[in-house]
Structure 1
Amino acid sequence: MDGGSGLNILYVDTLDVMCIPRSELHSASSPFHGVISGVQAYLLGQINQPIMFGDRANFRSKILTFEVVDTPGSYHTILGQPCYAKFMAFPNYTYLKLKMSGLNVVITVGSTFSHAYTCDREHYELATTVINSFELLWLGELLTLAVPDYNKPTSSTAFHPLKETKAVGIDPTDPTKTVWIGTQVPTK
């Protein structure tokens, strides 16, 4: 359940486990952010799938459109606002419940706090690993581009201390602790 998500998301691993061929996907929109914070997700496509809540005696069934993402995930799918709107469902995050009207009585879907904690922990660890791997690649590229050659002489614009300086003591009890300041520095 993710009431903050404007999409229903299905992970490609889940699609593979369901034995749904990729040829069933139809074209997708542009990439988006938010599956893993700070990482751009690329869509493989969209797929319409029947979703049912409840049991034989009391159920609701609708066709939902899912965005299929090619990123690792600790969940099978994420049901977002489009799902809630279509089923007219009400999530309660405090009690980890999703409620909607059924044929006979209210349908309640829920989870345990320990299961939710385990999923959140797995997602955090996965997200941290993915982000760290992207940052490591980025830093590697950055270092290969910007490694200075310390064997070259410095240019004439390099920092040079001013000749007009004076020593100022910073610790009255220890005269060896001094700072050198410029005497010709403009007031601004």
Structure 2
Amino acid sequence: MPEQVTAQITAQQLAQKFHGTPGRGCIVVTGSGIQAISDLFAEPGASRTILEAQVPYSRKALHEFVGEPTEQHVSANEAQLMARAALKRAQQLAEGDDGDQPLFGVGCTAAVATDRVRRGEDRAHIAWATNTGSGGGSIWFDKQSRSRADEDAIVSAIVLNSIAEALGIEERLEFDVLETERFDEID
């Protein structure tokens, strides 16, 4: 998932591309990334792309969605488990449908700016999975430099970029990574 993009595209334009491209899936976010769901449903045609969107916010809800407790909460491994569970859910929901569209699952787990003291870094891990591949990205934020809304905007962009990757769409949303922050791809 590239950090630098040559052509600028908006979340709305990217959602329109999704809705005009064969492929459907499920998206699950917790902790952050909720704006991505809003962006997807704000554009006509969302029913052609999204089979289901979930926000299992408590640990118990997330464990029930994934089907197992994770070793570490808010980790790349947890995001990958979420993406695979979302893909499995997409396969269940698409079973018996006419057509043979590619299916995807996207999972996002995050700990972002909050109004309480929280140990650990502000971070997010986003993963995607299809029947033929998987990937994603992780970002660690500078706690002193961004608001919760700023962090969610970046996490949501990475969620949308992950859907683009899963659907084979080349365009990506741009997002800035400060010198005091880090973005890594998930293989």
Structure showing the higher strand proportion among its residues:
1
Query: Which has the bigger relative contact order, CA under 8 A and spacing at least 6?
Result: 2
Q: TM-score higher than 0.5 here?
A: no
| TM-score between the two structures when normalised by the length of structure 2 | 0.24
* Higher radius of gyration, 1 or 2: 1
| TM-score between the two structures when normalised by the length of structure 1 | 0.24
Structure showing the higher helix proportion among its residues:
2
